[in-house]
Structure 1
Amino acid sequence: MIRRSALAAVVAAALVVTPQARAAETPSAGTWLAAQFVGGSHLLKGPDLVDPGLTADGVYALAAAGVGRSTAAQAAAWLGEPDQMLALVGDGDAESYVGGLVKLALVAQTLGTDPHSFAGVDLLERLGPLQEESGRFRDRTDPEWDQTNAFTQALAIIVLKRAGESFEKPLAYQVSTQCPDGGFPIAFGQATCKSDVDGTAMVLQALLAAGEKSAAPKALTWLVGQQQADGGFPAATAGSNANSTGLAVGALVAGERGAAADKAVAYLKSLQVGCSGPDAQRGGVAYDAAGFELYPAIRATTQAMLGLARVSLADVSAASATPGVPAIDCAVTPPSSSAPPVSPVPAPAGPEAPVDPPLAVTGPDQAVPLTLFGSFAVLAGAALLFVSRRRKVGA
């Protein structure tokens, strides 16, 4: 029986047309990410550490890049399996989780399917009882394990808005958490309100999608003020990184801060491994300028792709995505690479070759662009906080 990797190689060879002489383009981040889906269905956050939440982010990322629809569909089917559903959304009775419900609802919306019927579960119906009178969504679980925060609240607003359902009370609660300086915190109910880049970027996606006019301008001003000299955005206690920057771009584009978005996208491109890098890393995006490491790069690439595509989670869609991914063509190596220093990391043992066959390469115009118009993306980031529970398989 022909192995999947061998079959993919045969299909790729059949599809690729020898391009005319030209400088090699930056390898597609979508092609690299598709290759990281183990068995074509899920992503890992570490060796043998399955991560359903990160897998959902991968669906958004491929959709934003406009490639890999068949991998995204296979990932959605994997997320709908009983083990993943239980880990992400709970049993719907004793335990029910906001983060998992809204992430899967967005997976369904991204792929053009119904969040009211995902793997036989009405995700939005289950979400309803988790909304408190204040408008805040909270997990139904032991309070010690409640993982709701600005990310889950904002994503709930986004999926409700996309579904055409009421989001006014959750939006009002979200606005009420704004810090005096204009930014938003990740955690709710802290003694001191501390604005956070990731939290503010995520909340802005929701505010702008909902047409909010009072809190959003102040939040945009605060966010732009956090941009570093290199164009990137920092996490709470560190310098610029791809995760925070990818999340910020969606907010900047939706908020029509084009100059800041352009600088942020340039920073993301500086972290992408080009044709001068090792074969197994080409197209991937490092977490930061320190260099490429596989598992941080998987999450960084999912979030960077959303920023590179300049699309908001409120708008991300796989409707026009190609089934496959572009072939990586490094026949002509550019004279230099702006990618960060590359550590000698061996090819990953778990993920196989892309399940999606590469698209035919017939010239520069055939490459799938990583920059799409639109008003956020993951994930995302993942910086999105996922459902965390004692027996869950990954978050």
Structure 2
Amino acid sequence: MSRLSRSSALVAVSALLLTLVPGAAQAAPDDRAGTWLTHQLTDGLVHNDQYSFDDYGLTADVAFALLATGGQASHVADIRKSLATHVDSWTTGVDFGSDDVYAGSVAKAVVLAEATGGDPRSFGGVDLVQRLGKRVSTDAPTVGRIQDRSATDYANTIGQAFAARGLAVAGSGKADEAIRFLLKQQCAGGWFRLNFAGKAKADQSCDAGKRATTSAPDTDVTALAVINLRPVPHKSAAVKAAIKDAVAWLKHHQKDNGSFGGGPATEASNANSTGLAAWALGGSGACGAASKAAAWVKKLQVGDVASGKPLHGQRGAIAYDRTAYDAAAQDGITTETQDQWRRATSQAAPGLGYLTCG
């Protein structure tokens, strides 16, 4: 298993528990996607058959999707138990004989524990809040930034968003600093960038990076920032403004057909980005845009397929895009394409709850 495979810092692999707040639109669950996702679990984990490893980060994404779609409490409990058992393998380099700690994975694990009813201060015998707190910088100019303890630091804004939410919900004294650094990753236009500035840069803000062409707009990161910031308790005026500006940016950059592209490497319309945007928009009360995005995703979901057809038995799964759907209609979901389908479904399923937003 590669270092990147286990890191939650990878773009477009993250999703969070749908947490409704007063005034937010109520989501109607899509249990078909949830049921398909439960069939991807082996002993409470998603196993990658192509490369033969248990994918802990994707397993967490499945748990978040199941919580959002509802009706799968026993499977969520199985996931929590299995991830707790493997918490060190997920968040550290123990399996490689190193003392590395991966900040993005720890942050995601904190949120997973909180969202599924576990104790983030004793998850598989580990105090994840403390482990994450130690990965939050206290040195200027990066105060509040999460950072890996390893030869290469893979931490990015996705992990920072998980950290901000997880630490805030846990009541950690590091929460405010983590939130402030996250907000620095939002450009004046409203979007959030994926990658941080170099640690030596005096100005760690997105706008400073924009001038250096290193702060490209990213739909996935922007949506995830909204999804993460909304459950933060006792939101400051700055947090509320950040959410408002991010939602406005998402609405402005939605394509006429309702879809979204992702960041620079995934600019074409896809279910992952569109589903995350629908989730963020719907949860923030932008029902019209959310419903339009959900309708686009819905066209990529497998319905009832006749016996003998390649997609028979895959009801509820969501394709990454039309090309992926058409290929599976011919050849089925193969070992080589299985991972993409799992990621697309786990990220897009919560957004489908806003088909009838309002």
Matched, 1:225 2:252: yes
Query: Counterparts of 2:54 and 2:356 in 1: how far apart (Å)?
Result: 29
Cα 1:239–1:266, aligned 2, differ >3 Å: closer, same or farther? same
Structure possessing the higher relative contact order (Cα contacts under 8 Å, 6 or more residues apart):
1
Q: Deviations over 1:252-292 (max 9, x none)?
A: 12322111111111112111100136322111111112214
Does 2:138 match 1:138?
no
User: Which position in structure 2 is the counterpart of 1:12?
Assistant: none
What's the offset of the Cα at 1:115? Answer: 0.6
2: CA distance, partners of 1:151 / 1:41: 22
Equivalent positions of 1:48-59 (< 5 A) are: 48-59=52-63
Letter of the 1:231 counterpart: G
Secondary structure of the 1:209 match is coil
Looking at structure 2, the residues matched to 286 and 76 of structure 1 have their Cα atoms a distance apart, in angstroms, of 26
C-alpha contact (below 8 Å) 1:65/1:372 kept by paired residues: no
Pairwise CA distance, 1:44: 2.5
Aligned partner of 2:111 among 97, 106, 115: 106
- CA distance in 1 between counterparts of 2:261 and 2:82 reads 33
Aligned Cα root-mean-square deviation (Å): 2.5
Residues 80 and 118 of structure 2 are in contact (CA less than 8 Å); yes or no, is this contact kept in structure 1? no
Alignment of 1:1-395 (within 5 A): 28-44=32-48, 46=50, 48-82=52-86, 85-90=88-93, 94-133=99-138, 134-142=143-151, 144=152, 146-166=153-173, 167-189=175-197, 190=209, 191-192=212-213, 193-210=215-232, 211=235, 212-236=239-263, 237-276=266-305, 278-290=311-323, 291=325, 292=328, 293=333, 294-309=338-353
Q: Is 2:168–2:176's contact at 8 Å kept on the other side of the alignment?
A: no
What is the identity, as a one-letter code, of the residue corresponding to 1:297? W
Deviation digits for residues 104-160 of structure 1, max 9, x if unmatched?
222211221211010000000111111112111111111x2x111110000111112
Give the CA deviation at 1:50: 2.7
- How far apart in 2 are the matches of 1:44 and 1:306? 23
Instruction: Kindly indicate which of the two structures has a greater share of residues assigned to helix.
Output: 2
What amino acid does structure 1 have at the position aligned with 2:92? V
User: Is residue 44–residue 54 contact of structure 1 (8 Å, CA) maintained in 2?
Assistant: no
Number of aligned residues: 286
Moved more, 128-137 or 173-182: 173-182
On the 8 A contact 1:234/1:245 being kept in 2, the answer is yes
| Contact 2:36 2:317 (C-alpha < 8 Å) held by counterparts | yes
% of aligned pairs identical? 37
2:124 and 2:159 mapped to 1: Cα distance?
A: 21
**1:29–1:284 contact (8 Å) kept in structure 2:** yes
TM, length-normalised to structure 1:
0.67
Cα shift at 1:302: 0.7
- The change in CA–CA distance for 1:270 and 1:45 in structure 2 (over 3 A counts) is farther
Contact 1:42–1:78 (CA under 8 A) maintained in structure 2: no
Give the CA deviation at 1:179.
1.9
Q: Specify the SS of the correspondent of 1:28.
A: helix
- Using the TM superposition, name which of 209-218 and 153-162 deviates more: 209-218
- Shifted more, 36-45 versus 106-115: the winner is 36-45
User: Which SS does the other structure have where 2:46 is aligned?
Assistant: coil
Q: Give the whole-Å Cα distance in 2 for the aligned partners of 1:233 and 1:280.
A: 28
Preserved CA contact (<8 Å) 2:192 2:217: yes
| In 1, Cα distance between equivalents of 2:178 and 2:89 | 25
Q: 1:42 aligns to what SS in structure 2?
A: strand
Quote how far apart the aligned CAs of 1:251 are. Answer: 1.7
Unaligned runs of 5+ in 2: 1-29, 198-208
Q: Show structure 1 runs of 5+ residues with no match.
A: 1-25, 311-369, 374-395
CA contact (8 A) 2:45 2:82 kept: yes
TM superposition score normalised by structure 2? 0.73
SS of equivalent to 2:42: coil
Distance in 2, matches of 1:45 and 1:196, equals 30
CA deviation after TM superposition for structure 1 residue 248, in Å? 1.3
Alignment partners' CA distance in 2, 1:235 and 1:97: 24
Structure 1 segments (4+ residues) deviating >6 Å = 370-373
How far is 1:93 from its partner? Answer: 8.8
